[in-house]
Amino acid sequence: GLLVVDEEQRFGVKSKETLKQLKKTVDVLTLTATPIPRTLHMSMIGIRDVSVIEEPPDERFPVQTYVLAYNESVVADAITREISRGGQVYYVYNRVQNIHKVANQLAQLVPQGRIAIAHGQMSERQLERVMLDYMSGEYDILVSTTIIETGLDISNVNTIIILDADKLGLSQLYQLRGRVGRSFRQGYAYLMYEKDKILSEVAEKRLKTIKEFTEFGAGFKIAMRDLEIRGAGNLLGGEQHGHMAAIGYDLYVKLLEETVRQLKGDHIEEFEDTIIEINIDAYIPEEYIKNQAHKIEIYKKIASIRNIDDMYKIEEEIRERFGSIPVNTQNLLVISYIKSIARPFKITAITQNGKSIRIQFKDDSMIDAEKVSSILHKYNRKVTFNATSEPYFIYKVSTMDQNKILSELRDIIEILTCHSGH
């Protein structure tokens, strides 16, 4: 049989597993705008297939998104502008006990607005009556909880204001924003948090992500960022304090990927790790990242670099979180990148002895004569090549400038491995 789960993010793991137990051989198709981290993680490592529908409906515009501290004048202007163009507004406040108080405050702020209230503790009949009246245009503003998160498609509602947005999850914020901009009109989303409140690091990341990804089809990117922020469940998330903290997420994913590929019968080529021992300062200074847990996390991320995009992405994250990157940490990023591209090309070691750096290959199977010629021509007498059964290059260091040495070494390795990272 076939099990179709729509709005998958609203179902728990147990619910889905119970449904699957009805028939052991059932195929499962899940649909969602924002995959939950666990599902996304399973697709990334090959346990589940994933397809992305990127084509938006005709005549739709991305929702303009603003993240800011609560500001009465912004709220009043946004609502007044929407009402003046004949539209309606969602005003989201997710605490039932205070929702009437919030609605009264809003009525004083925007006296011309006709306000309705909706929340999950109302009877079905009451809720249905309010929603039908709102859909028919009898109200301008719907003050509601996150009950409106899914299933609503009212084309005349094109502004949403979300209070205490820092307390909501990324998937919730994305789903709520998706309630507006469902017609040819420009949609607006205002994500607000308490004035003068210091946001937690996780809340700040969430709000920054939702503001950053506004284009159509951004749900997949948002889910990817959510996976990074939250982890993929108990094994990878914040509740884990045992072996996973020591092993690290990236090694875990690597081991899982290899196991999945083996089960599929794929050939997995093992590469020897590249040893890099050169006289260059490469570490995270104590004064740069003082929190040890954060420092270990960043070391693991740097060790997981597999290509130039990874390096730039991690570099950007470090800069955003901790400020301008010191030279020593920048060196560490570059060395990790060099290691990642050298390994598949059977470069077993890059070691320094005095003013000479030796680039050692395991054998000559990955040596390209054209690339060798290009390096020798470019670096003239600074680089020599020894074509033995275990070939190696000698790069003669002519400066004490660590930045120049690392830059030239990176260039040599990129030429050898057909990478263009600069």
Most confident of 71-85, 175-189, 344-358: 71-85
Query: CA-CA distance, 379 to 385, in Å (whole number)?
Result: 12
Give the pLDDT band of residue 212 (cuts 50, 70, 90). confident
Residue 364 has pLDDT above 90, yes or no: no
Task: Give the model's pLDDT for residue 316.
Answer: 93
Residue 168 has pLDDT above 50, yes or no: yes
pLDDT tens figures, 18-65: 776 766 677 878 877 766 666 665 665 556 677 777 666 666 778 888
∠ CA 134-138-139 to the nearest 5 degrees?
A: 65
Query: CA-CA distance, 26 to 231, in Å (whole number)?
Result: 28
Burial 259-277 (b: 16+ CB within 10 A, else e): eeeeeeeeeeeeeeebebe
∠ CA 210-150-73 to the nearest 5 degrees?
A: 50
pLDDT over 90 for what percent of the chain?
39
Residue 104 neighbours by CB distance under 10 Å: 12
Nearest to 289 by CA among 329, 334, 247: 329
Task: Give the model's pLDDT for residue 112.
Answer: 94
Task: Give the model's pLDDT for residue 244.
Answer: 41
Span 265-278, average pLDDT: 76
Extended strands (E) in 130-209: 141-144, 157-162, 188-193
pLDDT tens figures, 278-288: 888 888 888 89
Q: Parallel, antiparallel, or unpaired for β 188-193 and 64-69?
A: parallel
Task: Give the model's pLDDT for residue 99.
Answer: 95
Q: What are the residues whose beta carbons fall under 8 Å from the beta carbon of 255, sequence distance 6 or more?
A: none
Query: CA-CA distance, 285 to 327, in Å (whole number)?
Result: 10
Query: CA-CA distance, 165 to 69, in Å (whole number)?
Result: 10
Give the pLDDT band of residue 356 (cuts 50, 70, 90). very high
Domains of the chain: 2-44 (no CATH), 64-216 (3.40.50.300), 275-416 (3.90.1150.50)
Residue 236 has pLDDT above 60, yes or no: no
Span 365-372, average pLDDT: 85
Q: Pick the range with the lowest mean pLDDT from 108-112, 249-253, 263-267.
A: 249-253
Query: CA-CA distance, 141 to 116, in Å (whole number)?
Result: 6
Span 313-325, average pLDDT: 93
Residue 319 has pLDDT above 80, yes or no: yes
Give φ, ψ of 240 to 5 degrees. Answer: -85, 125
What stretches of 231-304 show up as alpha helix (H) in DSSP?
Answer: 243-247, 249-263, 292-303
Cβ pair 326, 403 in contact under 8 A: no
Span 347-357, average pLDDT: 91
Residue 248 has pLDDT above 60, yes or no: no
Query: CA-CA distance, 166 to 67, in Å (whole number)?
Result: 10
Task: Give the model's pLDDT for residue 241.
Answer: 42
Span 223-237, average pLDDT: 52
Cβ pair 229, 205 in contact under 8 A: yes
Residue 172 has pLDDT above 90, yes or no: no
CA 61 to chain centre: 23
Higher pLDDT, 99 or 198: 99
For the chain, give the mean pLDDT: 82
CA distances to 154, 164, 213, 232 from 44, in Å: 34, 32, 20, 11
Residue 317 has pLDDT above 80, yes or no: yes
Residue 330 has pLDDT above 80, yes or no: yes
Task: Give the model's pLDDT for residue 384.
Answer: 93
Q: Parallel, antiparallel, or unpaired for β 64-69 and 157-162?
A: unpaired
- Amino acid letter at 403? N
Phi-psi region of 5 (alpha: psi -120 to 50; beta: other; left: phi over 0): beta
Helix (H, G, I), strand (E, B) or coil at 156: coil
Q: Pick the range with the lowest mean pLDDT from 209-223, 245-259, 297-311, 374-388.
A: 245-259
- Look up the pTM and report it: 0.52
Query: CA-CA distance, 380 to 24, in Å (whole number)?
Result: 67
